[in-house]
Structure 1
Amino acid sequence: MLDVYNHELRLYADPSRVVVRPFHLAWQANGSAPSRAQRLVDEVLEMDNMAARAQLELVLRDFEERHWQTRRVFMTRYEEIQAQLQLKTGDIGDDKRQLIGAYFCHEYSYAAAALMNPSVVPHFDQSGMPPGSQRILMSLRAVGEGHISSVAFREGIITDKGDLKLAAEPPFATAADTHMGEDEMPDGPVTVHRHTDSTISGTVIFPITPAQRNGLEDLRLVKFTHEDGKVEWLGTYTAYSGREIQSELMRTSDFRSFDLVPMTGSASRNKGIAIFPRMIGGQYMAIGRQDGENLFLLKSDNLEHWDGGDKLLAPYYPWEFVQIGNCGPPIELDEGWLLLTHGVGAMRKYSIGAVLLDKDDPSKVLARTPEPVLAAADQDREGYVPNVVYTCGAMKHGDMIFMPYGVADSSVAFAFVPVKALLELMQ
């Protein structure tokens, strides 16, 4: 097996990472009775001011040190409720407003169950970096209560000596917001916004639409350069409703606002589409798995629509006999397109391999690794889903491939793979 340098850093699930999220009640009135929301507001309004202040102090004693700008969050939530219920605000003091807001919020531990399946791209801000070093931006699949997946981010730096330094997580995380009204249930394309005072490392993107209800899974980030030179960060992910899956596309140019767009076409009904970082021959291209077993090359004139595809690779070696899939967007090298793959073998053991595709015609497979580049072993075997190593995207850094990867659906590790040695391993 290839000599891979594994960095000592590991990231783990952390139940202490919590955000405040809206707590929704049914808005409709039951016959002639007030709605649940209106009844709850009325209960607070009927309190005398001292009782309301005392109740608010109890809430703040429990939660103010656990969240960022808690009073402002409660006030913002009150304003949403006020607009929905058309409350008259003149005689409602700040204590009651904040208390009403608190009743319509709840705390959510977004990474309590698992942290896994990362992808990484060059950061949009490379200012001040010494030669040989670069900032990175990493996405992570965070799994919380109800096994609901969301997208978290971490920023960091990788150096010319193969060292990795992640920016410290802020003490408080914030959820990206749609800026939509309380009574609006978005369906289809939606835009979410990072809070103006929140860092990227402190931002979490939660499911918004019915199609996403049970999770945003396995974001595959890519820094995409359009033919006019414009740069955009794209990410394909699986939206899971609890019954059905749908491929969707995240688009952002600044990591402040994120367009979440359902993809169309027959290929979008499957998981794991990974987009090439530029057009080839005037077409967008991607790698997908149409049948749950083989890899397909997809072509399109529209980043949001993917049909059909031609079979590119089938399982060949014993460590991938069950199925193969991509491990993120192809990486451009002088020698061709490096596509990291995953293979599933006996006992459902996942391993990571690699394929080299022709740079001008990616339908041509030039070589592939007969042995895994990385496989579950020793301490990497144990976890929520044992015997799995998996990545959703790596990047070239000097003469190395920097690859964050998930371990047993329970933690995230980091590897540096020499490009030359990787190519020499291929046949």
Structure 2
Amino acid sequence: MSVKATRTGIVLRPDPTRVLFRPFELGSTRTLKIIARVNAMSDAEVEVKLNEVIREFGGRHYKLERFLLQRFEQIRPQLLTDEPLSLERKLLLGAYFTMEYSLESAALFNPSMIWHPDQTNVPPGYKRFILSLRATGEGHVSSISFRMGYIDEEGKIVLRKPSRYVTSPEIVPNHRFNRTQFERKLYELRLENSIQEKMMIGLGEEFSLPELEAQIKRISAQYRYNAEYETIASGLLALARSNYEIDFDDDQSLDERCIFPTSPNETNGIEDARFVQFTEDNDEVTYYATYTAYNGRVTFPQLLATKDFSHFSVSTLNGAEVANKGMALFPRKINGKYAMISRQDGENIYLMYSDDLYFWQTKELIMKPTYHWEYVQLGNCGSPIETEAGWLVLSHGVGPMRKYAIGAFLLDLNDPSKVIGRTTEPILSPDENEREGYVPNVVYSCGGLINGRELIIPYAMSDYASSFATVNVDELLAELTGKAKPELVADIAR
């Protein structure tokens, strides 16, 4: 009999009260009219209206007034004169161009679970974890939300009640680009030509977005109304804006932080982040997440990197084999190379190696849909987990009626192209309580953890809410290896 997961009964549902502020964008004509109306108000009227806004919204947000001033600075160029404005009028103008956005009003799903980098002051036998989730709100725009919790000495999962506040980060204005990597990507995008060379003349081995924008503006001004120059300029800027850095305030709790779509590739959302604790050969740790950026037409695999969950860098993944969804990074190098599980063709599982974390040029087919519950397609459910028996990978399969189920397979530690074993039946399938949601008949995960002798699987229920299930590691690896009593002490420390 095949191994089956045990459900915990924990259900994490979307909370529409978790709202953040976002720019309320209007056309230039309407913007001018609104500014004129606000500037026609008397000082007394401005004070009354601003106090009303602060009373109604101040308790719902973290540092509301700071954001309102930022919004004012963004619409300042639309002002018709340089006449000084009072602080109150600036704040009120900012409020008219700000909106609340319910981060997870539609869904909170596709979780990924990693150990918290801070395990200080934890009781003996307890361990903190971070749960990242795909939060979806108005317009079906997805972002990354966080929750925190711990596992107690008896293996019980306890989620911490999240803060009332949620805030998107500040974009780091002085992000520097590596010219060599930038030009390699331009070559792949077929944007490397004499026009591009002119637009990058004078830029150093490292340059910033403002420096690139200024150079493009100078060159484009010489060739006004030239469609080819405009196309190249647009491509250069889109690439630059898709590689950026973000910062959160250190005094914000992790569950108050939201990574909201920012770049041109992400206009319709950030989807399915697969976080992994990556350990370099020198034992330095970085937390990476591969995710899918979506602009409403095309999906783009991208990479998040952080050491502290306060400062993140966002980068495009490049190379001939960067395609489709579901790329998942191994937690360390293998034989001196970065390694990735992937699915370029939409149905099979591949293995990729690279000397450069950001460029992936080759792939190797390692698994095809074989069993009835995965005939439509196979994919991973997060990064491989290292055990003494091999690399344990959670998988998903799609069968009749587009029903998603979760299975597992095991790869050789030194040569992951060798499949040691795979589950012939799902270890988790949607039950009657999980079948209904935004996308029916789906269970899905973006990465689990091993705690003691238990594999913890955070999973989504029909693209709406999330839960947890557990599987005994010994039983699962015994099935995958075909051994009754395998030597399979999990490498829990990683």
Which bin holds the TM-score, normalised by the shorter protein? over 0.9
Taking the TM superposition and a 5 Å limit, the aligned residue runs for 1:85-96 are 88=82, 91-96=84-89
The residue correspondences of 1:291-330 to structure 2 (distance < 5 A) are 291-330=345-384
SS at match of 1:422: helix
Aligned to 1:331: 385
Superposed, 1:54-133 pairs within 5 Å as: 54-82=48-76, 88=82, 91-133=84-126
- CA distance in structure 2 between the partners assigned to 1:187 and 1:3 by the alignment: 45
Structure 1 contact 132–398 (Cα < 8 Å) conserved: no
Q: Distance in 1 between matches of 2:366 and 2:49?
A: 63
Equivalent residue, structure 1, for 2:222: none
Residue 267 of structure 1 contacts residue 288 of structure 1 at CA under 8 Å; is this kept in 2? no
Other structure's SS at 2:170 match? coil
Give unmatched runs, 5+ long, in structure 2.
175-209, 214-236, 483-494
Which of 80-89 and 69-78 deviates more? 80-89
- Indicate which of 151, 154, 158 corresponds to 1:161: 154
Contact 1:139–1:154 under 8 Å retained in 2: yes
Q: Please, which of 39, 42, 53 is the counterpart of residue 45 of structure 1?
A: 39
Distance 1:282-1:108 versus aligned 2 partners, 3 A rule: same
Larger radius of gyration: 2
Distance 1:108 1:116, change over 3 A: same
Q: The residue matched to 1:270 in structure 2 has which SS? A: coil
Count residues with an aligned counterpart. 418
- Larger proportion of helix: 2
- Relative to structure 2, which stretch is displaced further, 248-257 or 7-16? 7-16
TM-score, length-scaled by structure 1: 0.93
Aligned equivalent of 2:21: 20
- How far 1:2 moved relative to its partner? 2.5
Residue matched to 1:4: 5
Query: Which aligned pairs between 1:217-228 and structure 2 lie closer than 5 A?
Result: 217-228=271-282
Equivalent residue, structure 1, for 2:137: 144
Equivalent-residue separation in structure 2 for 1:223 and 1:86 (angstroms): 52
User: What is the match of residue 448 of structure 2?
Assistant: 394
2:132 alignment partner, SS class: strand
Whether the aligned pair in 1 keeps the contact of 2:393 and 2:408 (CA below 8 Å) is: yes
Distance in 2 (alpha carbons) for counterparts of 1:110 and 1:118: 15
Return closer, same or farther for 1:87/1:156 CA change in 2, 3 Å cut-off.
Answer: farther
- Report the alpha carbon displacement of residue 26 of structure 1 after superposing the two structures with TM: 4.7
How is 1:236-275 mapped onto 2 (pairs within 5 angstroms)? 236-275=290-329
- Given residue 388 of structure 1, which amino acid in structure 2 is its aligned partner? V
Alignment partners' CA distance in 1, 2:313 and 2:5: 36
Please say if residues 289 and 296 of structure 1, whose CA atoms lie closer than 8 Å, have aligned partners that are also in contact.
Answer: yes
Equivalent-residue separation in structure 1 for 2:81 and 2:330 (angstroms): 51
**Aligned equivalents of 2:402, 2:394: Cα separation in 1:** 19
Instruction: Give, in whole Å, the separation in 2 of the partners of 1:381 and 1:131.
Output: 38
2:171 is paired with a residue whose SS is coil
With over 3 angstroms needed to count, the CA separation of the structure-2 counterparts of 1:334 and 1:409, relative to structure 1, is same
Give yes or no for contact 2:245–2:314 (8 Å, CA) kept in 1: yes
CA contact (8 A) 2:4 2:426 kept: no
User: Conserved in 2, the CA contact under 8 Å of 1:248 and 1:268?
Assistant: no
Gapped runs of 5+ residues in structure 1?
A: 28-34
Q: Distance in 2 between matches of 1:308 and 1:180?
A: 34
Which amino acid in structure 2 is aligned with residue 383 of structure 1? Answer: G
Whichever residue aligns with residue 13 of structure 1, its letter is: P
| Cα separation, 1, equivalents of 2:309 and 2:467 | 24
* Alignment of 1:410 onto 2:464: yes
List per-residue Cα deviations over 1:389-413 (Å, max 9, x = no partner): 0000011111111111001111100
Matched AA of 1:10: V
How far 1:48 moved relative to its partner? 1.0
The CA distance in 2 between the partners of 1:116 and 1:416, in whole Å, is: 18
Shift of 1:82: 4.0
Displacement of 1:88 in angstroms is 4.5
* Aligned residue in 1 for 2:286: 232
In structure 2, the partner of 1:30 is none
The 2-side partners of 1:294 and 1:235 are apart by 21
> How far did 1:70 drift?
2.4
Q: Output the CA distance in 1 between the equivalents of 2:170 and 2:400.
A: 43
- C-alpha distance in 1 between matches for 2:300 and 2:85: 45
The percent identity for this pair of structures is: 42
> What is the alpha-carbon root mean square deviation over aligned residues?
2.1
Alignment partner, residue 425 of structure 1: 479
299-308 vs 208-217, which deviates more? Answer: 299-308
Moved more, 170-179 or 277-286: 170-179
Residue 4 (structure 1) shift: 2.7
Q: C-alpha distance in 2, partners of 1:372/1:118?
A: 19
Normalised to the residue count of structure 2, the TM-score between the two structures is 0.80
Structure 1 residue 80 displacement after superposition: 4.2
Corresponding residue of 1:365: 419
Query: What is the DSSP-based 3-state SS (H/G/I as helix, E as strand, rest coil) of the residue aligned with 1:172?
Result: coil
CA distance 1:75–1:161, shift in 2 (3 Å): same
Matched to 1:93, the amino acid is S
Query: Is the 1:176–1:192 Cα contact (8 Å) retained in structure 2?
Result: yes
Distance in 2 separating the partners of 1:52 and 1:153: 37
Q: Give CA-to-partner distance per residue, 1:320-343, whole Å, 9 cap, x none.
A: 111110000000001110011001
Partner of 1:219, secondary structure, is strand
CA contact under 8 A between 2:119 and 2:128: conserved in structure 1? yes
* Corresponding letter in the other structure for 2:152: T
Q: Residues 138 and 154 of structure 1 are in contact (CA less than 8 Å); yes or no, is this contact kept in structure 2? A: yes
